[in-house]
Structure 1
Amino acid sequence: MSLAPLKILIVEDNLSFALELEMLLDEMGYTDTLRADHSGTALDYIYSQEPDLILMDIDINGNLSGLQLGEKIAHLDIPVLYITALQDAPYQEASRQSNTIGYLVKPVQPLTLRSAIDLAIHKVKSQKAEHKPLHSGEDIAPFIARRFFFFKKRHIYYKTDVSDIVYASSHDNYVKIYIHKNEVFTVRTTIKNLEDLLPEHDFLRIHRRFIVAVAHIEAINFQDSTVLIAATELPVSQTKRQELEEHVRKLG
């Protein structure tokens, strides 16, 4: 899987409003969207397409209401933003009892929707990652949830599968992350934060500036203290050489 914006599922049986939401999301940069107008169709999409975020109307067609559908998929840990035309307290309370991450009342304004998505991602991040952001403002530090690496760039959240990360290089308070389709993206964090975030059995810090994915190592030259990864030769520091040797022995 290459770098991609979040995949968002719209569960709404009012076609005109569903299209309006889709247009708003597209204007925000979220072009990977799905639409379902029935709880059964929504459930099929949820299981087969694995969306990162669901915009769910409380009252939808099908055997399940939006709230019941949210409860049914609670174990999947997919954030749900409930949408309704009703401002009644019982509906808000019911949505809080369900697997909700937020609550929106129709009509939904662009700024409200953007803020709700930001809040949803912040909540997921706080639930799934223990590290703290290095900076304040609207950006958040990268985090991992449901096997994906999430980060924000120019108001849009992106994701990539953790297994697609090849290596990372440090540049002061920024880190460049290289993924397997020759794509590179930059996140505002430190190499130490990234090291703490990535699964330690899959990634190895070989130098104060570099982290590599063990599965993507093509060759190791212990004489020159280098590793070859993605046709790039990276240095192995003296302090990390023994750790690399031990890791290789475990794999053997």
Structure 2
Amino acid sequence: MLNCLIVDDEPLVRKQIESYVEQIPFLHLVGTTRNPVVAQAILSTEVVDLIFLDIKMPQMSGIEFLQTQDIYQQVIFITAYPEYALQGYELDVTDYLMKPVTFERFLKACEKANAKITGVASVKMNREQPDSLFVRSNHRLEKILLADILFIEAMLNYVQIVTRNKKYIVYATLKSIEESLPAIDFLRIHKSFIVALNQITTLEPSQVRVAEYILPTSRRSQQLLKQRFNEIHQRNINK
């Protein structure tokens, strides 16, 4: 499910996009506004995956909106002005839709955003090289060895993959990353954390230690974590 935000100063366009969003099962509308300044406030308090953004607006243009802040979300421009297409792609937007937007074209753009966010494009690579995880970070496809991963943390609009030597900022959901990892070696121990079981050095009642990090554990995960932690160590002993 992608949380999305509509930013457009035309009421009829906002209503149309809202109706399109309601028809797409993997979209969930968390906000709609005519004002880019209000949109900035929404982004600071809500988890947003996808922004439908107009270009020409009174307070601030969509171009200025993207240029004045760090945007990790996927962005789909919806505009009546084709002359901004090149500039939009230079800003690495997901798609550029011309008004009036048909539902078919809108759906195609949303499916493209969904593929980028969930990592569908790299699923084949992950299956072919099960000892590695392929993710998109800083506009590049990165190969991360599973053996190097310490833990993965969910942030507001992205996840942070922490390895022995580096941290990767990945615009994806924790769930999509979890589905790409082997369940025998990784466990979700908290709503915001997945840990590499063989990297745990200390298991405590409400937390675990991994290298120099202390990670919280949920009450629900603690019994399973203890069981899996013991299985990993027993497996290592028997090697």
TM-score (norm 1): 0.56
Say how many residue pairs are matched: 183
Compared with structure 1, are the counterparts of its residues 240 and 93 closer, same or farther at alpha carbon in structure 2 (3 Å cutoff)?
A: same
Q: Which fold has the larger relative contact order, with Cα–Cα distance below 8 Å and residues 6 or more apart in sequence? A: 1
- In the other structure, the counterpart of 1:55 is 52
The question of whether the paired residues in 2 share the 8 Å contact of 1:218 and 1:229 is answered with: no
Q: What does 1:11-26 correspond to in 2, within 5 Å?
A: 11-26=7-22
The question of whether the paired residues in 2 share the 8 Å contact of 1:131 and 1:193 is answered with: no
Compared with structure 1, are the counterparts of its residues 80 and 27 closer, same or farther at alpha carbon in structure 2 (3 Å cutoff)?
A: same
Deviation at 1:112, TM superposition (A): 1.7
Deviation at 1:92, TM superposition (A): 0.5
Partner SS, residue 55 of structure 1 = strand
The question of whether the paired residues in 2 share the 8 Å contact of 1:10 and 1:54 is answered with: yes
Deviation at 1:229, TM superposition (A): 2.9
Partner SS, residue 82 of structure 1 = strand
One of 150, 158, 180 as aligned partner of 1:146? 158
Quote the sequence identity (%). 16
Compared with structure 1, are the counterparts of its residues 229 and 65 closer, same or farther at alpha carbon in structure 2 (3 Å cutoff)?
A: same
- In the other structure, the counterpart of 1:155 is none
Q: What does 1:104-183 correspond to in 2, within 5 Å?
A: 104-124=97-117, 132=125, 134=127, 146-147=158-159
Deviation at 1:46, TM superposition (A): 1.9
The question of whether the paired residues in 2 share the 8 Å contact of 1:205 and 1:240 is answered with: yes
Q: Distance in 2 between matches of 1:33 and 1:47?
A: 13
Q: Which amino acid aligns with 1:122?
A: A
- In the other structure, the counterpart of 2:182 is 191
- In the other structure, the counterpart of 2:62 is 66
Deviation at 1:160, TM superposition (A): 6.1
- Alpha-carbon RMSD: 4.6
Q: Which amino acid aligns with 2:81?
A: L
Compared with structure 1, are the counterparts of its residues 18 and 200 closer, same or farther at alpha carbon in structure 2 (3 Å cutoff)?
A: closer
TM-score (norm 2): 0.58
Q: What stretches of structure 1 of length at least 5 have no aligned partner?
A: 136-140, 150-158, 163-176, 178-186, 207-212, 220-226, 245-252
Partner SS, residue 7 of structure 1 = strand
One of 53, 73, 80 as aligned partner of 2:75? 80
Q: Which amino acid aligns with 2:41?
A: D
Q: Does 1:34 align with 2:31?
A: yes
- Give 1 or 2: higher helix fraction: 2
The question of whether the paired residues in 1 share the 8 Å contact of 2:187 and 2:196 is answered with: no
Q: What stretches of structure 2 of length at least 5 have no aligned partner?
A: 129-133, 137-153, 162-171, 200-206, 209-215
Compared with structure 1, are the counterparts of its residues 161 and 124 closer, same or farther at alpha carbon in structure 2 (3 Å cutoff)?
A: closer
